[in-house]
């Protein structure tokens, strides 16, 4: 029998000389040849999948062959977004013994009723974590979940995953969270502004350390789309508009994320699986409209440049320099790649995009996971955040699942209903026979299990609380993240003003008008305070009026515009309007006369064109603020910090700013370090800032860097790679 395990909080740890530590909360331990193994199947015999001495692929094949189709279907699902804990006022609901979290008296790390059901009844082992109230809550919840599934058949551990959570700024899209206790880094576009793949690799290494300390073993990223259209909602989550830069940064990040130093194949207890997205590239969205929404479902290729969007995958994520070889998983985007596949269906449904290209032509053999929510029935309203079964609306839900499985996809993002997968299996058996269909499902199970074995979860899925507390937000990681923030700041203009080591700053507030949010609900008008006084006071005095100030400090953001107007559709129009990158209302007189793509069962037309229509920015008042502040300040300098989600038409703004700083998602402290001269700006533009909207309308959505840049009043051209590096 095993001797002298180390007692931990809720589990025991057995140490193997020259091998992995074995963690158990109740499952028996087998001793063989002086080594310890978890008896996950509770047979008393050491089964191949329990033997950590065997290659991970052999173990995955052994376990997959033992599973029922229902258990394999459980592996193929991804849970809904999980909160730790689920607060009653949060975006998603859950109960604790039938009550809300606040009413239940449960600990923050308690399992919800819904979690127990989908782990046990449905066999889900891939769980997407959105928020965690604290590191302690995350650790204890991880251990509670892993202890729960350890007692279930075969003891398959849970692979927790996360959307990006290291960003220093507030999330602008999807389900990203601010860093919280984690180290804080620029958004991906800011990392690209450093032009430093080595820094990006170090970033990936630190993300992996902190993720594993929270129990997270899969990152839903990096986003290696080439941001060719400047209007795209997801542009700030990319590494910019250059295929070469995106390839270099994405490759380095994946290597840092996945590599456990010193292991024989690069995988181990420090590894986090990268799920790169979005195959075959989400950047060429028509007119910048995003495929989260049915009105933005089409990708177009007027420049015939699909190959530019494949490059970060084929030359980057699928061809890593490090020992893990390739990204562990890939996620196709929602979009319909217009006329790339003659059926014009969403990427995961496309035989051409997934089966023919990804699997057969390019030989990718890792996990393919759909983007979230693509198999359910569509919403009746085209201006919605519902299911995105683009092009296959006439199929049943089970038929959609079968088609995706036939293409070679392994997993269904955001789908926690097992019945459609089981029905898809039945339909597949009718068509291909039970032997062939079982083999196809088992192949997905092997791929999915392989990543769990690679990360060591079958040996020890448990976390040591003190080790996690020491790792998450460690001073070294925090310092490196802040240094990256400083290096990402791009100085666009300095009219002899910086550095400003001392003085009094006038800080006016700003407002954003009513607008549709990411989930397509209407946000009311908001008033925002501008730069935080509590932070600014560490650098400068605060002036209440321009008259008593030495300079003005304005913090604004790029124009917030939308590409669909439901009211226009209700009034008899087609609903489509331009996404504007300028603050003033923009009339699209130079847009295409007709859209390239079109067609939807909710529309009686195929032309999504918007020539002659007007696009407006919800934050037009940001420009008014700059102009009015410049008037009130007179000859005293106006310093403008511009938070860039998307490139900006600078002609309206630049002449009124004495200093212009581009911020791609950093803390206010980083901006003030540069303004005060305590740090030098090091960033360069990872995108082009367009001359005007005519230049944007005239470009091809799929071509990188084909837009005429703006030239400022000092003669500087705001092109890709531009940035002032001396104050």
| Nearest to 441, CA basis, from 455, 426, 454 | 426
Main-chain phi, psi angles of 205, to 5 degrees? -60, -40
466 and 560 share one domain = no
Q: What is the pLDDT of residues 409-465, one digit of tens each?
A: 999 999 889 999 999 999 999 999 999 999 999 999 999 999 999 999 999 999 999
Please report which confidence band the pLDDT of residue 91 belongs to, taking 50, 70 and 90 as the band edges: confident
Side by side, which strands form the sheet with 22-24?
Answer: 6-7, 12-14, 22-24
43 and 78 share one domain = no
Neighbour tally for 34: CB within 10 Å: 7
Q: What's the pLDDT at 598?
A: 97
Q: What's the pLDDT at 173?
A: 52
In this structure, is residue 453 part of a structural domain?
A: no
Average pLDDT of the segment spanning 566-581: 97
For residue 720 the two structure tokens come to 């890709």
Task: Give me the sign of the Cα torsion angle 42, 43, 46, 48.
Answer: negative
Are the CB atoms for 358 and 364 separated by under 8 Å? yes
| Nearest to 249, CA basis, from 187, 195, 207 | 195
Which three-class secondary structure state does DSSP give residue 191? helix
Q: What's the pLDDT at 308?
A: 98
Are the CB atoms for 651 and 696 separated by under 8 Å? no
Are the CB atoms for 57 and 402 separated by under 8 Å? no
Q: What's the pLDDT at 344?
A: 97
CATH code of 312's domain = 3.20.20.300
In this structure, is residue 169 part of a structural domain?
A: yes
Q: What is the pLDDT of residues 263-301, one digit of tens each?
A: 999 999 999 999 999 999 999 999 999 999 999 999 999
Average pLDDT of the segment spanning 394-418: 96
Q: What's the pLDDT at 726?
A: 85
Are the CB atoms for 289 and 295 separated by under 8 Å? yes
Q: What's the pLDDT at 169?
A: 83
Q: What's the pLDDT at 89?
A: 87
584 and 644 share one domain = yes
Side by side, which strands form the sheet with 504-506?
Answer: 490-494, 659-663, 638-643, 551-557, 504-506, 541-543
In this structure, is residue 87 part of a structural domain?
A: yes
Q: Is 629 exposed, middle or buried (0-12, 13-18, 19+ CB in 10 A)?
A: buried
Q: What is the pLDDT of residues 342-365, one digit of tens each?
A: 999 999 999 999 999 999 999 999
In this structure, is residue 55 part of a structural domain?
A: no
CA distance 426 to 429: 5
| Nearest to 581, CA basis, from 645, 647, 642 | 647
11 and 85 share one domain = no
Residue 546 has pLDDT above 70, yes or no: yes
Mean of per-residue pLDDT scores for the chain: 96
Domain hosting residue 261, numbered range: 71-105+128-419+459-471
Length of the chain: 727
Counting residues of the chain whose pLDDT is more than 70, the rounded percentage is 98
Q: What's the pLDDT at 3?
A: 65
In this structure, is residue 1 part of a structural domain?
A: no
207 and 322 share one domain = yes
Please report which confidence band the pLDDT of residue 386 belongs to, taking 50, 70 and 90 as the band edges: confident
Identify the DSSP state of 168: S
Q: What's the pLDDT at 608?
A: 98
591 and 645 share one domain = yes
25 and 77 share one domain = no
Are the CB atoms for 642 and 664 separated by under 8 Å? no
504 and 360 share one domain = no
In this structure, is residue 452 part of a structural domain?
A: no
Q: How many independent structural domains does the chain possess?
A: 3
Please give the model's pTM, rounded to 2 decimal places: 0.97
- The residues with which 219 forms a beta bridge, in sequence order, are 162, 274
504 and 401 share one domain = no
Q: What is the pLDDT of residues 584-628, one digit of tens each?
A: 999 999 999 999 999 999 999 999 999 999 999 999 999 999 999
In this structure, is residue 60 part of a structural domain?
A: no
Q: What is the pLDDT of residues 502-513, one digit of tens each?
A: 999 999 999 999
CA distance 169 to 555: 13
Q: What is the pLDDT of residues 53-62, one digit of tens each?
A: 999 999 999 9
Cα 445 versus chain centre, distance: 25
Q: What is the pLDDT of residues 174-229, one digit of tens each?
A: 555 555 799 999 999 999 999 999 999 999 999 999 999 999 999 999 999 999 99
Which of 75-84, 86-95, 258-267 has the lowest average pLDDT?
86-95
Are the CB atoms for 668 and 268 separated by under 8 Å? no
CATH code of 503's domain = 3.40.50
In this structure, is residue 499 part of a structural domain?
A: yes
CA distance 258 to 683: 27
Better-predicted residue by pLDDT, 727 or 495: 495
């Amino acid at each position: 029998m095993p001797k002298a395990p180390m007692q931990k909080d809720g589990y025991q740890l057995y140490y193997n000389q020259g091998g992995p530590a074995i963690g158990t909360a109740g499952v028996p331990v087998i001793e063989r040849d002086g080594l310890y193994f978890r008896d996950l199947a509770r047979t008393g015999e050491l089964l191949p999948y329990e033997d950590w001495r065997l290659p991970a692929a052999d173990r995955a094949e052994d376990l997959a062959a033992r599973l029922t189709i229902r258990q394999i279907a459980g592996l193929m699902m991804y849970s809904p977004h999980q909160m730790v804990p689920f607060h009653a006022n949060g975006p998603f609901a859950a109960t604790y013994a039938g009550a809300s979290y606040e009413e239940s008296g449960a600990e923050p790390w308690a399992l919800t009723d819904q979690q127990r059901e989908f782990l046990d009844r449905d066999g889900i082992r891939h769980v997407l974590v959105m928020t965690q109230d604290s590191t302690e809550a995350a650790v204890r919840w991880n251990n509670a979940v892993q202890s729960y599934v350890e007692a279930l058949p075969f003891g398959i551990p849970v692979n927790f995953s996360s959307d990006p959570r290291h960003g220093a700024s507030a999330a602008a899209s999807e389900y990203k969270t601010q860093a919280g206790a984690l180290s804080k880094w620029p958004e991906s576009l800011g990392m690209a502004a450093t032009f430093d793949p080595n820094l990006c690799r170090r970033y990936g290494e630190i993300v992996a350390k902190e993720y594993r300390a929270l129990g997270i073993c899969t990152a839903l990223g990096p986003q290696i789309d080439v941001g060719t259209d400047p209007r795209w909602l997801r542009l700030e989550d990319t590494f910019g508009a250059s295929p070469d830069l995106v390839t270099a940064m994405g490759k380095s990040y994946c290597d840092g994320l996945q590599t456990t130093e010193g292991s024989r194949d690069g995988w181990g207890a420090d590894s986090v699986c990268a799920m790169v997205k979005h195959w075959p590239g989400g950047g060429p969205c028509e007119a910048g409209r995003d495929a989260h929404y049915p009105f933005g479902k089409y990708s177009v290729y007027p420049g015939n440049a699909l190959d530019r969007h494949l490059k970060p995958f084929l030359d980057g994520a699928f061809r890593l320099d490090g020992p893990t070889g390739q990204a562990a998983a890939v996620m196709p985007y929602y979009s319909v790649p217009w006329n790339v596949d003659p059926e014009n269906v969403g990427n995961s449904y496309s035989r051409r995009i997934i089966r023919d290209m990804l699997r057969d032509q390019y030989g990718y053999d890792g996990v393919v996971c759909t983007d979230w929510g693509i198999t359910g029935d569509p919403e009746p309203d085209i201006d919605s955040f519902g299911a995105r079964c683009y092009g296959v609306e006439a199929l049943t839900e089970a038929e959609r699942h079968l088609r995706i499985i036939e293409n070679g996809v392994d997993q269904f993002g955001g789908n926690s209903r097992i019945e459609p997968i089981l029905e898809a299996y039945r339909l597949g058996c009718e068509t291909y026979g039970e032997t062939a269909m079982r083999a196809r499902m088992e192949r997905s199970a092997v791929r999915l299990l392989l990543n769990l074995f690679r990360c060591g979860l079958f040996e020890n899925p448990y976390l040591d609380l003190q080790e996690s507390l020491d790792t998450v937000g460690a001073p070294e990681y925090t310092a490196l993240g802040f240094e990256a923030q400083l290096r990402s700041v791009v100085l666009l203009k300095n009219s002899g003003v910086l550095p400003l080591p001392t003085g009094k700053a006038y800080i006016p507030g700003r407002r954003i008008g009513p607008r549709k949010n990411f989930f397509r609900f209407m946000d009311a008008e908001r008033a925002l305070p501008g730069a935080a006084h509590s932070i600014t006071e560490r650098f400068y005095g605060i002036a209440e009026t321009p008259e008593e100030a030495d300079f003005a400090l304005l913090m604004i953001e790029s124009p917030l515009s939308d590409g669909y107007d439901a009211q226009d559709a209700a009034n008899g129009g087609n609903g489509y309007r331009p996404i504007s990158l300028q603050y003033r209302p923009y009339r699209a007189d130079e847009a295409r006369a007709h859209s390239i793509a079109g067609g939807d069962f909710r529309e009686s037309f195929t032309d999504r064109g918007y020539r002659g229509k007007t696009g407006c920015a919800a934050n037009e008042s940001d420009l008014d603020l700059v102009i009015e502040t410049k008037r009130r300040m007179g000859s005293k300098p106006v310093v403008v910090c511009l938070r860039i989600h998307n490139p900006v038409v600078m002609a309206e703004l630049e002449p009124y700013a004495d200093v212009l700083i581009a911020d791609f998602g950093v803390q206010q402290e980083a901006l003030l370090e540069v303004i005060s001269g305590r740090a030098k700006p090091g960033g360069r533009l990872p995108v082009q800032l367009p001359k005007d909207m005519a230049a944007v309308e005239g470009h091809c959505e799929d071509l990188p860097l084909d837009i005429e840049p703006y030239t400022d009043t000092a003669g500087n051209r705001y092109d890709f790679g531009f940035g002032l590096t001396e104050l």
